[in-house]
Amino acid sequence: MTVQNPTPFPRQGIPEQVAFDRKELGIILGLYGRMVAAGEWRDYGISCLRDMAVFSIFRRTAENPLYRIEKRPKLRNKQGQYSVVGIDGQVLKRGQDLKSVLRVLERKLIRAVE
């Protein structure tokens, strides 16, 4: 005999989907705004999935993302839950601290401004 959860809600502590919190979005959108002002980026998309959240960055609306900023909480204790992935699928930077992971993209902003 199997025991079923009597309530239709998910169990406590197990999120139904992963999302960026307000602080994380503030950091990401700050960088995004600077890159838009520099003319490098034009559009973005956010996906909240069961095991990860993705912030995709586009140069134009109808193309593949230039970069993906991913949050994978399951990797928190291993490689770090944040990563920046390039257009070719290569992980450019991974770590525990979102600001330090995004520095790889800020270097590109400095080059774009110069």
What pLDDT, on the 0 to 100 scale, is given for residue 63? 77
Q: Which residues of 25-57 are buried (b: 16+ CB within 10 A; e: fewer)?
A: eebbeebbebbeeeebbeebeeeeeeebbbbbb
Where along the chain do its domains lie?
22-113
CB burial of residue 75 (10 Å; 0-12, 13-18, 19+): middle
SS3 102: helix
Which residues of the chain are under the pLDDT cut of 50?
1-3
Please tell me the pTM assigned to this model. Answer: 0.78
